Amino acid sequence: MLFPLTIVILLALLGLPLFCVLGAIGLLGLHYGGTDLSGGLADVYRLAGAEAVSLSTIPLFTFAGYLMAKAKTAQRLVRMAEALLGWIPGGLALVTLWTCAFFTIFTGASGVTIVALGGLLLPELEKSNYPKRFSLELVTGSGAIGLLFPPALPLIVYGIVYGINAGQITDSGTQTFQIDRFFYAGIVPGLLVLGILSVYCIAMGWHAKVPRKKLDLREFGRAFWEAKWELPIPFVILGLLGFGLAVIPEVAALTALYVFIVESFIYKDVNLRRDLFNLTRESMTLVGAIFMKIAAATILTAYFVDAGIPERLFDLLSVYVHTPRAVLLVLNVVLLLVGCLMDIFSAIVVVVPLIVPAAAKFHIDPYHLGVIFLLNLEIGYLLPPAGLNLFIAAFRFNRPITQLYRAVIPFILLIGLALGIITYFPQLVVVPKATGPQIKMAAPTE
């Protein structure tokens, strides 16, 4: 299959849509493996099954994001943030970083953050004199950190898949993994990443001589009052989830409905007759482009699974790798690649079962491993040439993909730095103490 594969990759460089590239490689693999191509399409239909529940947040938050971008939400929020934080160098950049991270916790996909918040904040950053490259980088990369905090769906799915794979009862328990403790594992590492990036934001604000403002509480009060309909959204989301009133997809629908009502009928920034049809169609064009890529990635994953590619890769590595640190290092490399090619949930389901035995063999702390896993997948989304978030940003902001490749390099290096620190200091992965008698879980034995 080397010849057709070369042609496909060549065509990819010449501008063949990415979804065709991934799907073609998947179909080629299935074909040469003697497997019915329809099996790959059966996997595409899984996107309308249980997986659609997490998928539904993409169109809903994207729609809400386009509504807010069309309305003057950003101006209202920025006015408020500047009054309160404008005296800090890089104040607006910090607001962008933390807001995007926070939003991603609920959407579970940093790409959606780019669509929903990036469109709001990019023009404001550029207006405030931040360098264009930095502004683009910030809105493209900021969503990446959110996945480490609960209740981000990838964190939960990872915990469940890992737990099931590691959590078989045998008489000689050697390793314990508890999902509810894992939920907290990403908090300190996530804060570390945010801390490093915050320093970067302040440095960029300083360096670019972004004009600083005095702390103006009166102006803050006025801006706060003006934004009173939009500000409660994150708190309402937290409340709905925290009190068990709604699940995340419902929250997404309620957010879309609420934002629609507020922007159309209270602020009247969105005109029903003139804007709504085009705006909805525009937002779903982006969702469609993302969906086509995710669907094609499932065809590619079908081939990987059918041919046992990840197993073979790990078998090959196990010949050369003999220490825990080396395992983590190699894992980092493999996961970056996986994050670049596969959809995050497929990646978890396919790859996690393969790393559980390795983790057991080398006594790698499963919480530590989980954090590294998720952080890697996120960097993979920012990684040229095929990182999905780069393409989403290129689409959303109508920029050449090569410009995105260059823009995100510092972000990749800084998150990579954090990843290195976390890899070498497992102490940073803090989980609550086990409470009460626990069930001993044995790691699977070969």
Per CB under 5 A, contacts with Na ion among 41-70 are 53-54
422 binds another protein (CB under 8 A): no
Q: Which of residues 188 and 292 has its CB atom nearest to another protein in the complex?
A: 292
Alpha-carbon gap, residue 384 to 391, rounded angstroms: 10
> Which residues are CB-contacts of 227 (< 8 A; sequence separation ≥ 6)?
73, 76, 77, 79, 80
3-state SS, residue 442: strand
CB 364 within 8 Å of CB 175: no
The 8-class DSSP code of residue 172 comes to S
By CB atoms closer than 10 A (0-12, 13-18, 19+), residue 66 is: buried
Say how many C-beta atoms besides its own lie within 10 A of residue 222's C-beta: 14
> Minimal distance in Å, beta carbon 195 to another protein?
27
> Minimal distance in Å, beta carbon 288 to another protein?
2
74, 80, 109, 161: which one binds Na ion (CB under 5 A):
109
> Minimal distance in Å, beta carbon 379 to another protein?
19
247 binds another protein (CB under 8 A): yes
**Chain centre to alpha carbon of residue 65:** 16
165 binds Na ion (CB under 5 A): no
Q: Which of residues 156 and 313 has its CB atom nearest to another protein in the complex?
A: 156
Sign of CA dihedral 127, 128, 131, 135: negative
Q: Which of residues 97 and 407 has its CB atom nearest to another protein in the complex?
A: 407
117 binds another protein (CB under 8 A): no
- The values of phi and psi at residue 442, to 5°, are -95, 140
- 98 touches, from another protein, Na ion, none (C-beta below 5 to 8 Å by class): none
- From 215-223, 255-263, 320-328, 422-430, give the range in contact with another protein by CB under 8 A: 255-263
Contacts with another protein by CB under 8 A: the residue count is 128
**Chain centre to alpha carbon of residue 313:** 25
User: Residue 250: how many CA atoms within 13 Å on its side-chain side?
Assistant: 9
Contact string 380-409 vs Na ion (x = CB under 5 A)? -x----------------------------
Q: Which two tokens stand for residue 216?
A: 């103006």
- By CB under 8 A, the residues from 290 to 329 that bind another protein are 290-295, 299, 305-306, 308
- From 2-10, 167-175, 281-289, 377-385, give the range in contact with Na ion by CB under 5 A: 377-385
**Chain centre to alpha carbon of residue 315:** 28
- 132 touches, from Na ion, another protein, none (C-beta below 5 to 8 Å by class): another protein
Q: Which of residues 140 and 423 has its CB atom nearest to another protein in the complex?
A: 140
Burial track 419-430 (b if 16+ CB lie within 10 A, e otherwise): beebbeebebbe
409 binds another protein (CB under 8 A): no
- 109 touches, from another protein, Na ion, none (C-beta below 5 to 8 Å by class): Na ion
Q: Following CA atoms 86, 89, 90, 95 in sequence, which dihedral angle do they give, to the nearest 10 degrees?
A: -40
**Chain centre to alpha carbon of residue 176:** 27
212, 222, 361, 399: which one binds another protein (CB under 8 A):
399
Site residues, Na ion (CB under 5 A): 53-54, 109-111, 381
